[in-house]
Amino acid sequence: MKKSIRAALAAAALLLPAIAQAQNLRIGLREDPDILDPSLSRTYVGRIVYMALCDKLFDINERLEPVPQLATGYRWETPTQLLITLREGVRFHDGEVMDAEAVRYSLNRHLTMQGSYRRAEINTLDRIEVVDPHTVRLVLKTPSASFLSMLTDRAGMIVSPKAAEALGRNFGTRPVCAGPFRFVERVAQERIVVERFPEYWDAANIHFDRVTYLPIPDNTVRLANLQSGAVEFVERMEPDDMATIGRARNLRAVAVEELGYQNLIFNLNNGPRSNTPLGRDARVRHAFELALDRAAINQVVYEGMYTPTRQPFPPANPFHVASFAPPARDVARARALLREAGVTTPYQVEMIVPNNPDLRQAAEVMQSMLSEVGFDLRIRAMEFASSLQASTSGDFDIYFNGWSGRTDPDGNIYSFIHTGMASNDSRYSNPEVDRLLDAARTELDVEKRRDLYARVLEVGIAGDAPRVYLWHRKNIMAHAARLAGYRPIADGMIRLQGMRLQ
C-alpha cells in the first residue's frame, strides 16, 4: 500500500515538469485596445495585440528596415510598380489559403471599406494586380518613398477574405488572420485571449500555447502584477519605475527609444487666437525655445532617461539629422529677441497640457525657465479629448503633446507641417517647406532624401519655428527574468516569435 502511494507520488513528480512546460504568457497592457479590425482600428495598444493575431506582408527589424513576413521579397519594377512575392503554404486561422487573391482582397478592403483608417496611409495605391498565386503587383499613382513602410504595419495585414466577407463590419469581434496565434475570446476592459495556431508558417519559433492580454491602466498596479507573478510582461512603464524593477532580482527592465517625440505646437494661423506676437513673429518663438533647457527638464522630470531633440526623427531613424541639435539655453539672447520684436514683458501666453502628471510637471519646469526670459506662462491642464478639440479648433496659444511615431520619416513630419494637412494644428504654411516635403515624399534615393529633410529642418523648424521638438521618450518594458527572447525594437511592439519562459 505504502509502496503504491510512493510510486504514485513519484509518477506525479515526473508529471509536474510536463505540466509546467505548458507555456502561457500574460501581458499587462497600459490601455484597453479598440476594435480588433486592421482596417478600422486606431489605437497604438491594439497594434501590440495584432503582433499575435495578424501577420503583415513585412515586419521591421532593429534598424527599422522592412523584412519579409508574409511576403518573401519585393522589387520596384518602376518607381510606381512594386512587385511582391508571397510566402507559399501559408494558411489563415480558418484554414483558408493565404495567396495573391487574399492580398488583393485585404489591400482593397483597407482602401475602400467605409471608415477605414488605412486609406490615408496607402492612398497612393492605385490598383493591385494578381500576377500569379504567389505574386502581386502594386501600382501606385505617384512614386512614394514611404509606401513600403506602410506595409510593415496595419495596412500590410492580410485578413481571411472568407471571414471578412462573412462578418463584415463585425470582423473585429472575431478577427481571422494568418498570425502565430488565433483569437479565442475578448472580454471588454478585462482580457483578450489568443491560442497557438498550429499551422502557423513559422510555428517552430512560437513557444507559448496561450497568450492573455490584460489591460491594467494604473502603473503601480501593473507593476504589482509583474512583481507578484500575475503577469510575465508589462509595457510602457514610467522612468521612475526603473529603479524598483532594477532592485528586484527576478525582474528585467528594457528601455527602448521610441519612434516618436514630444513637442510644443504654436498657434500660427488657426483662428483669431493666433493673432498674437507669438503667432505672428518667429523671433518670439525663437526666444521661447532659447529659454528652455531640454536636458534639465529631462533630468528633473524623466530621470534623464529621454533623449533631448530638435527634430521629429529619433537617432535610431536612418533619416535622423545628427547636425541638427537643440540650441543651448541662452537667456540673454532670448531677452534680446523679445526686445527686438517689441514685446512688453512679462508677456502672458497659455499652454494647453493634457492632464498627465509628468506632462504637467514638465510644463511647470518650463514655466519657471520661461519666466526668467519674460514669458508669463499659464498652464491649462485639460482632459485629453478636450485638449484635442481645442487644438483642432484653434483654441490655444501653445499645445504640448506627443506623437507615437512611424518608421518612415514622412509619417513623423508631413501631415504636421505641410500646408492644409490634417494634423497641422498650427496652420503653418511655407511654400518652400511644402515643396521640400513633397520632393522628399517621392525621392527614392536615401541620401538625397535625407538632404531634403535636413533642408526642411533648417527652413521650417530652425527658421519659422512652428513647433519646438523637445525629446524622444523611451518605451520602458519590464518582464520576469525567466522570460527570454524578447527583442526590443523602437516601435514598442511585443513580438512573440522566439520568446519563451524558462
Partner 1 sequence: MGIWLLRRVGQVIPTLIILSILIFGLQQLMPGDPAVILAGEERGDEQVLAQIRAELGLDKPIWQQYLLWIGRVVTGDFGFSWRIRVPVSELILTKLPVTFQLATMAFLIAILIGVPLGIVSAMKKDTPADWAANGAALLGISTPNFWLGIMMILLFSVELGWLPPSGYVPLFEDPVQSLSTTIMPAFVLGTGIAGVLMRHTRAAMLTAMSQDYVRTARAKGLRERVVVWKHALRNALIPVVTLGAIEFGRLLAGAVLTEQIFTIPGFGKLIVDAVFNRDYPVVQGVVLATALIFVLLSLLTDLLYMAINPRLRQA
Q: Which region, judged by CB under 8 A, interacts with partner 1, from 79-87, 253-261, 363-371, 389-397? A: 389-397
End-to-end CA distance of the chain: 37
- Closer CB to partner 1, 14 or 187, in the complex: 187
216 near partner 1, judged by CB under 8 A: yes
Alpha carbon distance 48, 43 (integer Å): 9
166 near partner 1, judged by CB under 8 A: no
Q: Shortest gap between Cβ of 471 and partner 1 (angstroms)?
A: 21
Contacts with partner 1, 97-126, as mask; x by CB under 8 A: -----------------xx-x--x------
Q: Which region, judged by CB under 8 A, interacts with partner 1, from 90-98, 386-394, 429-437, 456-464? A: 386-394
Q: Shortest gap between Cβ of 207 and partner 1 (angstroms)?
A: 24
381 near partner 1, judged by CB under 8 A: no
DSSP characters for 100-162?
HHHHHHHHHHHHHSTT-SSTTTSTTEEEEEEEETTEEEEEESS--SSHHHHTTSGGGB---HH
Of the residues 21, 24, 142, 173, which one makes contact with partner 1 according to CB under 8 A: 173
Alpha carbon distance 25, 302 (integer Å): 30
Strands 375-382 and 347-354: parallel
384 near partner 1, judged by CB under 8 A: yes
Of the residues 80, 367, 392, 442, which one makes contact with partner 1 according to CB under 8 A: 392
**Residues 107, 128: contact at Cβ < 8 Å?**
yes
Q: Shortest gap between Cβ of 416 and partner 1 (angstroms)?
A: 10
423 vs 195, 265, 427, CA distance in Å?
Answer: 38, 11, 9
**Residues 59, 246: contact at Cβ < 8 Å?**
no
User: Can you point out the beta strands (E) in 180-250?
Assistant: 181-187, 191-196, 210-215, 233-237
Alpha carbon distance 92, 316 (integer Å): 34
Residues of this chain, 29-58, that bind partner 1 according to CB under 8 A? 32, 34-35, 42
Closest C-alpha among 246, 332, 317 to residue 469: 317
**Residues 235, 477: contact at Cβ < 8 Å?**
yes
Contacts with partner 1, 226-245, as mask; x by CB under 8 A: -xxxx---------------
Alpha carbon distance 487, 477 (integer Å): 11
Residues of this chain, 284-343, that bind partner 1 according to CB under 8 A? none
Size of the residue set binding partner 1 (CB under 8 A) = 44
Reduced 3-state DSSP string for 278-331:
HHHCHHHHHHHHHHCCHHHHHHHHHCCCCEECCCCCCCCCCCCCCCCCCCCCCH
Contacts with partner 1, 405-424, as mask; x by CB under 8 A: ----------x-----xxxx
- Closer CB to partner 1, 191 or 435, in the complex: 191
Q: Shortest gap between Cβ of 261 and partner 1 (angstroms)?
A: 15
- Closer CB to partner 1, 28 or 308, in the complex: 28
Helix (H, G, I), strand (E, B) or coil at 23: coil
Of the residues 88, 129, 199, 383, which one makes contact with partner 1 according to CB under 8 A: 383
- Closer CB to partner 1, 229 or 346, in the complex: 229
Of the residues 18, 188, 204, 322, which one makes contact with partner 1 according to CB under 8 A: 188
Closest C-alpha among 172, 84, 182, 86 to residue 125: 84
**Locus of grid cell 500660427:** 268
- Closer CB to partner 1, 308 or 409, in the complex: 409
4 near partner 1, judged by CB under 8 A: no
25 near partner 1, judged by CB under 8 A: no
225 near partner 1, judged by CB under 8 A: yes
Alpha carbon distance 119, 39 (integer Å): 8
Binding stretches for partner 1 (CB under 8 A): 32, 34-35, 42, 114-115, 117, 120, 169-170, 172-173, 187-191, 214-218, 220-221, 224-225, 227-230, 383-386, 388-390, 392, 415, 421-425
